[in-house]
Amino acid sequence: MPSYQALITGGVGDLAKAIQSSLEMAKIQTLAPGRYELDVTDSECVKKFISTVGDIDLLVCNAGATLDMPLARMSESDWDQVMQVNLKGAFLCAREVSRSMMKRRSGHIVFISSFSAIHPPAGQANYAAAKSALLGMMKSMAQELGARHVRVNAILPGFLETKMTDNLSDEVKQAALQKHMLGRFNTP
């Protein structure tokens, strides 16, 4: 069987580690670099990383950032940083791997969006906008790349108990829990 290589961006997070564990159980060679190994917001860094590791068969765009706060207090820098990591980073990585995927007529790109993309809470204008934009980008890419046998999908996890959500206030967590259908938070 030919080798199959997966790349998970944002590889140091709890969700990335869970995805990596599942892929490795399926005997898939998995790369899960953190921000210092792969800065997804830097096109040259992305290009260099991909050229170094070779063909990617599965890209999981998992790198993400939140800077939650009321809109009136959100700076342009807060907006830009969340957009850079969540949206631009996914675009740069998908664009780079899609070239060889189309040539090989094989591949899969998965965007990790969020439940906040369709049911955003207050204080997440930047995050909700970025994660919603991923859905539009995914739909367009799926139409464009599908003809070349490259699948493009998105996953919208609900509220997960991770290091990223540990930083949220108890008030925000309780509000999320009250809306959660399972009556508990998900785990990666």
Summarize pLDDT for 86-135 with one digit per residue, the tens.
Answer: 999 999 999 999 999 999 999 999 999 998 899 888 899 999 999 999 99
64: domain CATH number is: 3.40.50.720
Mean pLDDT across the chain: 90
Residue entry with tokens 């959660």: 180
CA distance 135 to 131: 7
Q: Residue 184 domain-assigned?
A: no
* Measured CA distances, 69 to 74, 106, 123, 131, 178 (Å): 6, 41, 5, 16, 20
Range of the structural domain that residue 104 is part of: 5-179
Residue entry with tokens 């919603």: 132
Q: Residue 188 domain-assigned?
A: no
- Residues in contact with 111: Cβ distance below 8 Å, sequence separation at least 6, in sequence order: 61, 90, 94, 134, 135, 137, 138, 152, 153, 154, 155
Instruction: Give per-residue pLDDT as tens, 41-59.
Output: 999 999 999 999 999 999 9
Tell how far CA 127 is from the center of its chain. Answer: 12
Count CB neighbours of 104 within 10 A: 13
Q: Residue 186 domain-assigned?
A: no
Q: Residue 185 domain-assigned?
A: no
Which residues have a catalytic role annotated? 127
Structure tokens at 25: 């159980």
Torsion angle, alpha carbons of 106, 111, 115, 118, to 10:
-80
Q: How many domains does the chain have?
A: 1
CA distance 80 to 156: 22
Q: Residue 96 domain-assigned?
A: yes
Q: What is the pTM of this model?
A: 0.87
Q: Residue 187 domain-assigned?
A: no
